Structure 1
Amino acid sequence: MAEACISAGICGFETTVSVEDLGDYQFKLKFITKCPNIPKMAADIETVNVMDELFKKGESKVLNAAVKHLPHVSCPVPSGTLKALEVTAGMALPKDASITIKK
């Protein structure tokens, strides 16, 4: 199991996504957040196939649900979700990622 804690930025919402390996390439996603939009996205992606998410372009349920439900295309929650999925599947080592904005 892996968990990603994502600070979305100026909106002030924080989201924790945990990923559980169910076996046979299936993974369960669980989101904890106060953002009103993430639960809508989460309802479409309770379980995902890791191979589809990471290797079949255009077939990511995570990205498709984000496009459908999130008002901001720049929201980092979908990316953080996919990184946590990679780590849980053993396809990446756990390492923090970050975005630093300077003006």
Structure 2
Amino acid sequence: MARVEIYGGICGFNTTVQVAGAGGRKVKITLESECPNWQKAAEYLREYLKEVDAYKEVFGKLHESETYRLYAPFIPHPACLVPAGIVKAIEVAAGLALPRDGVVKVINE
């Protein structure tokens, strides 16, 4: 299982994503968030999206990703870091990447 903690920045909302193997290339995603938009997405996830194909999510085109396609109606802010965190968790849970932090550092000059 992989867990990714995402600190939203200026919005102040934190999100935790857990991804566990569900057999073969399939993984199951669990999401908890302080963000009301991601809370709606998490409800949708629990009800409709039981598992995803890790290889399609990690190696497919961005616009074809279940992560980006299915969550788009819930998330009004395109710079949100949560979708990237979800894909990173999928990568690690599926054994397609080692667990290592990534950083987005914003500097206003």
Per the TM superposition, whether the score is higher than 0.5 is yes
* Aligned residue runs from structure 1 range 15-94, under 5 A: 15-42=15-42, 43-44=44-45, 45-57=49-61, 58-94=63-99
The alignment's TM-score, normalised by the length of structure 1, stands at 0.92
Deviation at 1:82, TM superposition (A): 0.4
% identical aligned pairs: 40
Unaligned runs of 5+ in 1: none
Cα deviation for residue 55 of structure 1 reads: 1.9
Structure 2 segments unaligned to the other structure (5+ residues): none
Q: Deviations over 1:40-91 (max 9, x none)?
A: 2231444211122112223211011232210100000000110011011111
Structure with more helix by fraction: 2
TM-score, normalised to structure 2, is 0.87
Are the counterparts in 2 of residues 15 and 33 from structure 1 also a CA contact under 8 Å?
yes
Q: What CA RMSD, in Å, does the superposition of the two structures yield over aligned residues?
A: 1.3
Q: Work out the number of aligned pairs and report it.
A: 103
In 2: Cα distance, 1:52 partner to 1:17 partner:
18
Which structure 1 residue ranges, 4+ long, deviate > 2 Å from structure 2?
39-42
